[in-house]
Amino acid sequence: MAETPQEPGHEALSNLLQESRSFPPPADLAANANVTADAYDEAAADPQAFWEKQAHRLDWSRQWDSVLEWKPPFAKWFDGGTLNASVNCVDRHVAAGRGDKVAYYWEGEPGDTRTITYAQLKDEVCKTANALLQLGVTKGDRVAIYMPMIPETVIAMLACARIGAPHMVVFGGFSVDALGSRLDDSAAKVVVTADGGYRRGKASGLKSAVDEAVRDRPAVEHVLVVRRTGQEVEWTEGRDVWWHEAVDAQSPEHEAEPHDAEHPLYIMYTSGTTAKPKGILHTTGGYLTQVSYTHWAVFDLKAETDVFWTAADIGWVTGHSYIVYGPLSNGATSVMYEGTPDTPHKGRFWEVVQKYGVTIAYMAPTAIRTFMKWGDDIPAQYDMSTLRILGSVGEPINPEAYMWYRKHIGGDRAAVVDTWWQTETGAIMVSPLPGVTAGKPGAAMRPLPGIGADVVDDEGVSVPDGGGGFMVVREPWPSMLRGIWGDPQRYKDTYWSRFADLYFAGDGAKRDQDGDLWLLGRVDDVMLVSGHNISTTEVESALVSHPKIAESAVVGATDPVTGQAIVAFVILRGSAGDGGADLVKELRDHVAGSLGAIAKPRQIMVVPELPKTRSGKIMRRLLRDVAEHRALGDVSTLTDSSVMDVISAKLPDAKGDE
């Protein structure tokens, strides 16, 4: 498949879903909001001046010479400036007398806890920086981090940033092969890992996977191992080093050197349409400026009083930007949770909210739909009255899931912000500002101040209100990717070739009659039914709005009559029984009733699970293989590969539904 996202068919994206609900900002929030409506005008008048002002949120060792140098598609932000990301996240808060402030309340899955202040974090980061230096890591070397969700993961990232060694975090759920190919591409010199981590009540092995991945990769000189579970591990003398031996004995003093604003901060791999993952490169000054600003603006962060929780994995860009760099650069107090939401019981998330008095929570629609499936009675058992802002990220949030989140988690009181962004954008790009913008269920609403995002047609022309098309960014932004590691041509081809000088990374969107933006999923997933481009998102949202449906995934399959026909996979809510022909008919009629007959699925299959990536994105590509009766493509980035066997086994039953 070509790497540039596919074009849709003859017409623009159909706009089938009509949504009229809208929630104005809560009055108390609006009255005290960090950002007011004039930020949009200020930024529009002079975007570079706007971002220059935001850069002053950080401590710089040397002032930049220019705000932006733009040689499309290569940008340099704050060139000539120098700073240290680790100092900005840790030291400066301690120096300002906030050393005793809690940086993280960490909650392990088995129930063990740790509270880490900024002063403690500083000591640990410095010790780890010293240990990495002793292991031979120097500025510019890459360090791989393959860890569970424990404080040492953050500490290792900040230690790398401190010495200027770009980190490359690989999600702890990924396979040996996925880790291996990322080690090859980044040529990492050291791997930081743990013996294992806890997930679903079990200790899973990480060190064993690293052993296998590193066996034929002599470029990896050392493996630094945190003892987390206490399980037995194999040991290679000379190569393997225990964290508690290498780090604990180090001095907590480390003089941090300032790095160039454009010095690489990290590489984060994201899978494209081809097998070879892309190493997305982020640098220091612009990235930190935008994550710091967006974390403060979008979540209306009051660093003194808020308790912020991103319930996501650090191995996803959301964890990098909103567990680590955003909250720490703002001196916030965060919660970090190691495990799964159903261990040891399905109320675990809400128990965490109650225990720590979480005020701002950020999570993915996939989690929200799972909670819907488990039932309203579970969150109802906890006091969550502290919550004032709820964020969503990773996929379009279905209106029904938004309403559920708002009501059952936010008590119809908290503001919901649906935030659109990507690994490539580094930070939030399109989102309501909770004290300024109204929220509509399912809409990401407006580009943030200083962000030139737009929806365009085939020719790159802005679509009018009521139109659909491609989500693009017109102007460079501070936290934009600086390239694909080692492959500038692929960077140009992937993101900058579909439209001249516009950044396009694959999403479809529409602009409603009020000018607000709705994301409609990947244009690769768009279905062409009888000449109409129909987004999977809208059909999925229509299915989820049925009271018996918790989750759904929709794909287009070849059809002799309509070109493509809609095939849906659905997961029932806890109380819905087991499906059957009557329910399937009811659901098909329900979709036709909400979106029109054109969107009526040809076939609906009830399944127990859907194939998902680490960030909860549904892998529709695999469902298309199933719907077309083809052999499955690459499943290496699935969180649980047995899911596909379960779904394939269901197939013969589903035939009768047609």
Q: Is 155 in the site for ligand 6R9 (CB under 6 A)?
A: no
d(CA 174, CA 167): 17
422 binds ligand 6R9 (CB under 6 A): yes
CB nearer ligand 6R9, residue 198 or residue 316 = 316
Q: Does 535 bind ligand 6R9 (CB under 6 A)?
A: no
Phi, psi of 360 (to 5 degrees): -135, 125
Q: Which is nearer to ligand 6R9, 356 or 496 (CB)?
A: 496
Choose the binding region for ligand 6R9 from 19-27, 92-100, 140-148, 499-507 (rule: CB under 6 A).
499-507
511-530: contacts with ligand 6R9 (CB under 6 A): 519, 522
User: Annotated binding residue at 244?
Assistant: no
> Are the CB atoms for 164 and 180 separated by under 8 Å?
no
The verdict on whether residue 106 carries a ligand-binding annotation is: no
The pair of three-digit structure tokens given for residue 554, joined into one six-digit string: 């929709």
Neighbours of 346 (CB within 10 A): 17
Distance separating alpha carbons of residues 311 and 358, to the nearest angstrom: 11
Helix axis angle, 642-654 relative to 620-627, nearest 10°?
40
Burial class (CB in 10 A: 0-12, 13-18, 19+), 140: exposed
Distance, in Å, from the CA atom of 525 to the CA atom of 122, rounded to the nearest integer, reads: 45
Per-residue CA distances from 640 to 173, 267, 614, 616, 636 (Å): 9, 24, 9, 11, 9
Decide whether 19 or 212 has the Cβ nearer to ligand 6R9.
19
**Whole-number CA gyration radius for the chain:** 24
Q: For residue 453, what are the β-bridge partners? A: 473
Among 88, 479, 552, 615, binds ligand 6R9 (CB under 6 A): 615
If one asks whether residue 419 binds ligand 6R9 (CB under 6 A), the answer comes out as: yes
What minimum distance in Å lies between the beta carbon of 58 and ligand 6R9? 22
Question: What torsion, rounded to 10 degrees, do the Cα atoms 230, 231, 236, 241 define?
Answer: -20
Query: Does residue 507 touch ligand 6R9 according to CB under 6 A?
Result: yes
The number of residues that bind ligand 6R9 (CB under 6 A) is 22
Cα dihedral across residues 383, 23, 371, 378: positive or negative: positive
Give the nearer residue to ligand 6R9 in terms of CB position, either 454 or 507: 507
Map residues 203-242 to x or -, x wherever contact with ligand 6R9 holds by CB under 6 A: ----------------------------------------
Q: x/- binding map, residues 265-284, to ligand 6R9, per CB under 6 A?
A: -----x--------------
Closer Cβ to ligand 6R9, 153 or 318, answer by number: 318
Among 13, 145, 156, 393, indicate the residue that binds ligand 6R9 (CB under 6 A).
393
Residue 201 assigned as binding residue: yes
| CB 104, min distance to ligand 6R9, A | 21
The 10 Å Cβ neighbour count of residue 190 is 22
| Position 14 contacts ligand 6R9 (CB under 6 A) | no
Number of helices followed by number of strands (H, E) in the chain: 21, 30
Q: Is 395 in the site for ligand 6R9 (CB under 6 A)?
A: yes
Judge whether 199 is annotated as a binding position: yes
In sequence order, the β-bridge partners of residue 90 are none
Taking the least distance from each CB to ligand 6R9, the nearer of 422 and 648 is 422
Q: Tell the residue number behind the tokens 């007011």, with chain if given.
A: 36
Q: Which 436-455 positions form the footprint of ligand 6R9 (CB under 6 A)?
A: 444
Residue 396 touches ligand 6R9, criterion: CB under 6 A:
yes
The DSSP bridge partners found for residue 74 are 71
298 lies in the site for ligand 6R9, by CB under 6 A: no
SS (H, E, C) 334-345: EEEECCCCCCCC
Contact footprint for ligand 6R9 (CB under 6 A)? 270, 316-318, 392-396, 418-423, 444, 505-507, 519, 522, 615
